[in-house]
Amino acid sequence: MTPDVTRLNARLAAAQPSATYRMIDRVAERKAAGVPLLSLSAGEPDFDTPQHVQDAAIAAIRAGHTRYTQVAGLRALREAVAAKFERENCIPTRWQDTIVCSGGKQVIYNALAATLNPGDEVIVPAPYWVSYPEMVQLCGAQAVKVSCTEANGFKLTPDDLARALTPRTRWLILNSPSNPTGAVYSANELRALAEVLLAHPRVLVLSDDIYEHLIFDGASFATMAQAEPRLAQRTLTMNGVSKAYAMTGWRIGYATGPQWLLQAMEKLQGQQTSGASSISQHAALAALSGPQDFVQHTRRVFERRRDAVVDSLNQARGLRCAGPSGAFYAFASCEGLIGRTSAGGRPLHTDEDVALALLDEAQVAVMQGSAFGLGPYLRIAYALDDVSLARACDAIKTFCARARA
């Protein structure tokens, strides 16, 4: 074929494939070849979707709810979403102030695509979820990555935010609890950031709350529109059913925000996917409006796993890991391994070298922190059963002990 035939959109050509999905593909290939891998790389709960949610989906199929829905989502689901924001986040919300999309990722992409123009900037605190910067550049804007150090709990400070803001800033993206660090912003920390933002009325806030219900140590969850209502009319509060209800494959995300933004997102979605799966929407309705004991149970399980994994990682030579406050990731420094050589002979110059050596030599899959904007760290997902987690941690400790200078 000629070069003209194979030419891609320039923004897509410049985008990087998802680092997490590249690792997931490696894991799948090796498992298919019979390699007994333990994967701590995937960002999804290991639990089954609650039974009453499964039953609601089956009932929806049998009732014939298999046709198109409204672009912005079923009214019943949007009413449940509004009730959730009112009940759990104290954000005044009408059902008309909501949108349902095909996963949380589509919520974020729709918001950025609907508002960004060439020359615009989006502040992305680092470490960040791998898709944020790529989405920004796909929309023709520039991601301004602001390093948030371990000394600051991997969180954006008001001073760092103030330095990053320019007349071109269009969005600030905040993710709490954080993927990949598990960092959680308190209400006071959000209010301190809000004080900076109030002086910049053009800047929108995207609050990615997808891990809201996975918060530990008795802490209370806070989100920007709740912590500082004066920012509510320029804040998109995004959430979904994937993490809280073990529904990653159902692909339902939702949000609330100002009407002008939701209308623009709906317009874009109408020309893109037309709307989320009707069956998945009925399942999400059951998740949001039904019993919530599953959410509390899994939170307790993840908190217990966090404690065990962090304790084990801190016993590994060359690793250091602070306890995350939420989500289901440990973000461990592997600085003590950099400059060493693995037992299999791989020089460990970077955190990616460490991750690949763990995959090849210890049969444990983790993600390198540099993929999330900060190295040398490893993101270790503890969304795995206790026995497998213990085996994986033992393999990591053995790998570290055998690395040589």
- Report the mean per-residue pLDDT for the chain: 96
Give the CA distances from residue 53 to residues 32, 284, 320, in Å, rounded to whole numbers and listed in that order.
31, 7, 39
Q: Please say if the pLDDT value at position 3 is more than 70.
A: no
The mean pLDDT value for 112-127 works out to 98
**pLDDT reported for residue 18:** 77
Q: Where are the beta strands (DSSP E) in 157-216?
A: 169-175, 204-208
Region 390-394: mean pLDDT is: 97
Nearest to 206 by CA among 80, 70, 127, 114: 114
pLDDT confidence band for 103 (50 / 70 / 90): very high
pLDDT of 2 = 60
Q: Residue 29: which pLDDT band, with cuts at 50, 70 and 90?
A: confident
pLDDT digits (tens, 9 = 90+) for 250-306: 999 999 999 999 999 999 999 999 999 999 999 999 999 999 999 999 999 999 999
pLDDT of 1 > 70? The answer is no
pLDDT recorded at residue 152: 97
Model confidence at 131, pLDDT cuts 50, 70, 90, reads: very high
pLDDT by residue (tens digit) across 7-27? 889 898 888 877 777 777 888
Alpha-carbon gap, residue 347 to 169, rounded angstroms: 41
Model pLDDT, residue 27? 80
At residue 20, the pLDDT reads: 76
Domains identified in the chain and CATH numbers:
3-48+294-402 (3.90.1150.10), 67-289 (3.40.640.10)
Asked if 201 contacts 230 with a C-beta cutoff of 8 angstroms, the reply is no
**Average pLDDT estimate for 92-107:** 98
